[in-house]
Structure 1
Amino acid sequence: MRYDLADVFTDTPLGGNQLAVFTELTAVDATAMQAIALEMNLSETVFLRPAEAGGDVRAKLYSTVCEVDFAGHPLLGTAAVLAQHLVAEETTLRVETNVGIVPVTTRRLAEDRYTAWMRQPHPKISPVPDEQAAQLLAVLDLEQSLLPVTLYDAGIPHLYLMTDSPEAVRAIIPDFPALGRAAGESRARINVFALTGPTTAVTRMFSPYDRVPEDPACGSAAGPLAAHLVRHRLLASGVQLTLSQGEAVNRPSTLYAQAVADQDDIQSIDVGGGVCLIGSGRLRLPGPGGGAARPADRTVTA
């Protein structure tokens, strides 16, 4: 099984969020895909399949512990991996996910460097009960959130808490079991952020349920974060937000997000960043009869 490796939300190899994309249509089931994702031990691993619903390709997304319906850096990285086989300098691919088709536009900067932007699904927005918000703040050792603690869900649920300084964000020492209990039945990822300027912020995302408990760069969280700020009038609608993430896990990352919204409605959310293609390889697995895995019928190249 061939795979490509990419670093997403960075213009420098060995930064950003790591990704493996399996491009060959090798016959493996959900159990095998989950085991392979654990073997790769990255935030997410992507397995490509033929399109089924009018898109260009279907992406199956797996964390180290479960299939996920939607994620940000895997779709941007997948589009760049596929774009390397295309002639055009700029291309848009319609990637099928469990929450629908996500268009991703890539632009080639060099042989192995790309920028990629995606139009994200609109998230469902839910208030967080005061008791749960207080529990989250206590676990994070924060006195308050400057904006209401809110749950956004576009395929992966995310909770957002806003501190008054980037130093407070950087100082957090996460207690992951306690964070998992505080997130409750939603099993949401917990995002803590602070503004560093009118259109810039630093953020950290904690995922108590995965073997990668702090994400270096979370695209599925960046879009709702921009919408959250626009809804509360801390960011103008349609203005690009620049997010710094990953410093705490030695994977410096830069994410860009833009939301067109008002207090009550979200019209669009776009998230983008750099992608570095850093390598490729093959994984050898036993087949059903104990021999080598069946050769792939073909490789997905969009």
Structure 2
Amino acid sequence: MAIEYSIYDVFTDKRLEGNPLAVMYDADGLDDKTMQAIAREMNLSETVFIRKSDNPAYAASLRIFTPGGELPFAGHPTVGAAVALGERNPNGGDVDMVCVLEENVGPVRCAIRLRKDAPGFAEFDLPRKSSRIELPLDRAKLADALGVSEGNIGFENHQPSIWTAGVPFLLVPLHNISTIREMDFDPQLWERSAPLVEGRLAACYVYCRGGVNHTAKFHARMFSPEMGIAEDPATGSAAAALSGAIHHFDGLSDGHYPFMIEQGVEMGRPSFIHLHIDVKAGDIFRARIGGSAVRVAHGTMDI
């Protein structure tokens, strides 16, 4: 059996930057074991499998796998798959379309913009509002796992906390970019210090204000031993979780707030995630994640 696939670099408009994604087309005939094996073979942070949905109102059904297991939702596979589906539109030319993608977390509404000779862009409404998970956290042990001093954890009102918008992350604010760049993540110490959340070890997402790029509002890195990801160049689901922390710790008043989050800089794969938060009556009314995606390879896999 031969299955067609593409490789996209996501959350970037430049090839060989951003977060690589394998997009497997027409994957209806693949069982869970085979999809997991393909994800391990691709050895990227995520591989997305595009299948037909039983609901005719949905453009496709997505299954998302890391090398270590399946995810109910993830940002860069959603953006990459949306752009890939838009580019396979038989009408060609400029495309402005809205579609719904079915993921394990639920339906995800996406907007896609394609222009000739330009990278595609897609954004989606968060399928689930970010919510906080209250669990005890040991700052000293977290500092040891990150290879930083305990005094470098936290800035302004921001403190370590666990948030999820479909995938839980332990968000650790660090003092500044220098601290993030010089940190030394130890996966074994992390496994001893981070809690289990929804049956799995919480992934590590560190962040601070500012960025190497002057347009960035936050600078971030993500590590997940549980998912088989040593470090991720861009993590849309973590940015989705971060939306709750930003609203909570910064006390956002009613209005619209655009944020650019940069990630992957330390890996030589700079990525830029667009996060938009709308606050109404003191609470998050709506949040969106978006970014560019550019195809870098296409082929078939024999399985």
Same fold per superposition (TM over 0.5): yes
- Counterpart of 1:11 in structure 2 is 13
Which is further off, 144-153 or 59-68? Answer: 144-153
The percent of aligned pairs where both chains have the same amino acid is 30
Q: Which runs of 5+ in 1 are unaligned?
A: 286-302
TM-score (ref. length: structure 1)? 0.88
CA contact (8 A) 2:187 2:225 kept: yes
2:246 is aligned with 1:229: yes
- Counterpart of 2:173 in structure 1 is 162
- Counterpart of 1:268 in structure 2 is 286
Q: 2:130 aligns with which of 108, 116, 123?
A: 123
- Counterpart of 2:273 in structure 1 is 255
CA contact (8 A) 1:24 1:48 kept: yes
Q: 1:75 aligns with which of 62, 75, 78?
A: 78
Quote the offset at 1:151 in angstroms: 1.0
CA root-mean-square deviation: 2.1
CA contact (8 A) 1:191 1:203 kept: yes
What's the CA shift string for 1:177-232, capped at 9, x where partnerless? 21122222121111111101796111111112233311000001112223311222
**In the aligned structure 1, how far is the partner of 2:231 from the partner of 2:111?**
27
2:258 is aligned with 1:240: yes
**In the aligned structure 2, how far is the partner of 1:264 from the partner of 1:34?**
42
For 1:142-181, list aligned pairs within 5 A: 142-143=149-150, 144-146=153-155, 147-181=158-192
**In the aligned structure 1, how far is the partner of 2:251 from the partner of 2:300?**
47
- Counterpart of 1:293 in structure 2 is none
TM-score (ref. length: structure 2)? 0.87
CA contact (8 A) 2:121 2:291 kept: yes
Relative to structure 1, the CA distance from residue 238 to residue 180 in structure 2 (aligned partners, 3 Å threshold; closer, same or farther) is farther
How many residue pairs align between the two structures? Answer: 284
Q: 2:203 aligns with which of 189, 198, 201?
A: 189
Quote the offset at 1:254 in angstroms: 0.9
What's the CA shift string for 1:82-137, capped at 9, x where partnerless? 10122352111200011100111111133461111111121331134143x44212
Relative to structure 1, the CA distance from residue 268 to residue 184 in structure 2 (aligned partners, 3 Å threshold; closer, same or farther) is same
- Counterpart of 1:51 in structure 2 is 53
CA contact (8 A) 2:10 2:21 kept: yes
Q: Which runs of 5+ in 2 are unaligned?
A: none
What's the CA shift string for 1:244-280, capped at 9, x where partnerless? 1101222111111112247973321111111111221
Structure 2 SS opposite 1:232: helix
CA contact (8 A) 1:104 1:118 kept: yes
Quote the offset at 1:150 in angstroms: 1.4
Quote the offset at 1:172 in angstroms: 1.0
- Counterpart of 2:221 in structure 1 is 204
Relative to structure 1, the CA distance from residue 39 to residue 199 in structure 2 (aligned partners, 3 Å threshold; closer, same or farther) is closer
**In the aligned structure 2, how far is the partner of 1:30 from the partner of 1:220?**
22
For 1:102-121, list aligned pairs within 5 A: 102-111=108-117, 113-120=119-126, 121=128
